[in-house]
Amino acid sequence: MNTDFVGAGTALITPFKNNGEIDFVALGKIVDRQIVGGIDYLVMLGTTAETPTLSDEEKKDIVDFIKERTGGKIPLVAGMGGNCTKSVLAKMESFDCSGISAFLSVTPYYNKPTQEGLFRHYSELGKHSPLPVILYNVPSRTGANLSAETTVRLAAESEKFVAVKEAAGSIQQVSQIIKHAPPHFKIISGDDIMALPFMSLGGHGIISVIANALPQKLSSMVHLALKGDFAEAAKIHIDLTELLRLQFADGNPAGVKAMLLQLGIIENVLRLPLVAAGDATVRKIAEELVKLA
């Protein structure tokens, strides 16, 4: 099984029933669609999964369900982040790592550490993590940017750091990482709209939101780009551009949940403080999906 994190990964949503409980039937359908649609690996318990609203028991149930549903057919990555280094290390130690290929660990949020603080945080994770670690930089959510220099410094310090999910929205920053990172280290787009530009520079793929709804489209675009066929990949990118904009118009994962609603896979339910996409956004998403059909 390929575990180098090259290609198309999906940041899985958590579908909920109208009564607020996790909809495991819908989750199973989504997971099956990823495998059939050519997705290379799945990411569980990330931001897109509304993980802050899930109890520890629910998180365990989701991981156990996805492990059983995939049956080892596809690599699995588990979200493992926080803004207290000691707490993240404790969660790593207690986590059942069987069947899991890596952790995805977001930069500490809210407390806005310096670059040295970010380096030391990740350095501790690298020393003690039982699994490889994918760094996750999303400063629009966390309030702190993991600089290119710090990313490269971590990659050079330990091969435990296998990749970065980069969502700073900066081509310059990505270019610096690609130029200076050691050969083992992968650069993964954390933003669907940036996946193709990243790969044109030598990036290795995407951890995608829209792939929950359109795995075949997304995986085809990524695989074409990785083969160097940017002309064909660009056609898919252009076809998806408006949906990629709409999926974040009312926040994430409201947009992709609206898409999955239109596809008849889930109920359009989010947990507070997040709410479902507005009627205007849902209508526009439905129109765009018809164009893709």
The residues that bridge with 106 in the sheet, in sequence order, are 136
What are the structural domains of the chain?
A: 7-228 (3.20.20.70)
Return the pLDDT at 1: 64
Confidence of residue 111 (pLDDT cuts 50, 70, 90): very high
pLDDT at 89: 97
Quote the CA–CA distance of 212 and 231 in Å, as a whole number: 24
Look at residues 100, 167, 165 and name the one whose alpha carbon lies nearest to residue 129: 100
Query: Which active-site residues does the annotation give?
Result: 136, 165
How many Cβ atoms are within 10 Å of 129's Cβ, its own excluded? 23
Query: In this structure, are residues 160 and 129 in contact, taking their beta carbons and an 8 Å threshold?
Result: yes
Q: Assess contact for 24 and 65: CB atoms under 8 A.
A: yes
- The answer to whether 70 touches 44, Cβ cutoff 8 Å, is no
Please report, in angstroms and rounded to a whole number, the separation of the first and last CA atoms in the chain: 32
Average pLDDT over residues 57-82: 98
- Gap between the Cα atoms of 134 and 123, Å rounded: 12
Please give the average per-residue pLDDT across 126-150, as a whole number. Answer: 97
Nearby residues of 267 by Cβ (< 8 Å), 6 or more positions away: 15, 16, 17, 18, 23, 26, 261
Instruction: Give residue 7's region: left, alpha or beta (phi > 0; psi -120 to 50).
Output: left
182-196 average pLDDT score = 97
